[in-house]
């Protein structure tokens, strides 16, 4: 465990850490989403403050759209807003779903300092504000320590690539892209949606597409 000297909120449970971050960002809900760049089918949703936080996390995963991937790539805070014309063009499916659910924005924060293990995903039903530098630093610090706690506890452990599943998924995406004449991101969304509808993992759905 991280000592009290490293942060003032030692002793809080994971759900309480997430709730504190949500409050600092004036969010209506939040959850931690653990994932791995080496195993995209490995994913854990932890400590949701409300059921809709889980649904919104699932949307980014199933649609293959949203700021989660950006935060995983560069470790910075990113967001999507239904009020942003640029976001409506970039992530049209996700924005449509947010509008339908009454959510106006989703903001992602990197989880983990020594090892980036996922994102904290906050959402709000009011206007998306711009947090000041102190708030960004505070939330980033909390998310870093939360991630390190998850690594220490073993909750953040995900397989590197069980059975070469990443290669199978990539191959299935290529097959779907050619079959439907769509680009790779759209084919990935099709694969994930089919897996969700069939109540199976993306890797198993990829095997079904490939017939293996």
The DSSP output letter for 115 is S
Structure tokens at 181: 């004449």
193, 160 in Cβ contact below 8 A? no
85, 114 in Cβ contact below 8 A? no
Structure tokens at 163: 């059975």
pLDDT for 205 beyond 60:
yes
d(CA 98, CA 84): 12
Stated as kind and residue range, the H or E segment containing 119 is strand 118-124
Q: Angle at the Cα of 196 (from 195 to 198), degrees rounded to 5? A: 65
**pLDDT at site 200:** 76
pLDDT in tens, 165-191: 667 777 888 899 889 888 887 888 788
pLDDT in tens, 112-132: 866 788 899 999 999 999 999
Residue with tokens 């239904």: 82
**10: confidence class by pLDDT, cuts 50, 70, 90:** low
């Amino acid at each position: 465990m991280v000592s009290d000297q490293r942060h003032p909120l030692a002793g809080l449970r994971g759900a309480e850490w997430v709730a504190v971050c949500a409050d600092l960002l004036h969010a209506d809900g939040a959850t931690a989403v653990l994932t791995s760049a080496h195993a995209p089918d490995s994913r854990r949703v932890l400590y949701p403050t409300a059921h809709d936080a889980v649904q919104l996390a699932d949307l980014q995963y199933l649609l293959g759209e949203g700021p989660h991937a950006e935060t995983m790539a560069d470790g910075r805070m990113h967001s999507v807003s239904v009020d942003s014309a640029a976001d409506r063009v970039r992530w049209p499916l996700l924005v449509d779903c947010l509008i339908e659910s009454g959510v106006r924005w989703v903001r992602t924060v990197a989880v983990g300092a020594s090892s980036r293990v996922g994102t904290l995903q906050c959402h709000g039903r009011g206007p998306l504000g711009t947090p000041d530098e102190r708030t960004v630093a505070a939330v980033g610090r909390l998310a870093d320590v939360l991630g390190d706690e998850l690594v220490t506890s073993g909750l953040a452990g995900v397989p590197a690539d069980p059975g070469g599943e990443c290669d199978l998924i990539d191959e299935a995406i290529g097959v779907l892209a050619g079959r439907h004449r769509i680009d790779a991101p759209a084919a990935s969304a099709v694969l994930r949606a089919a897996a969700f509808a069939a109540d199976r993992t993306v890797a198993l759905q990829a095997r079904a597409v490939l017939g293996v």
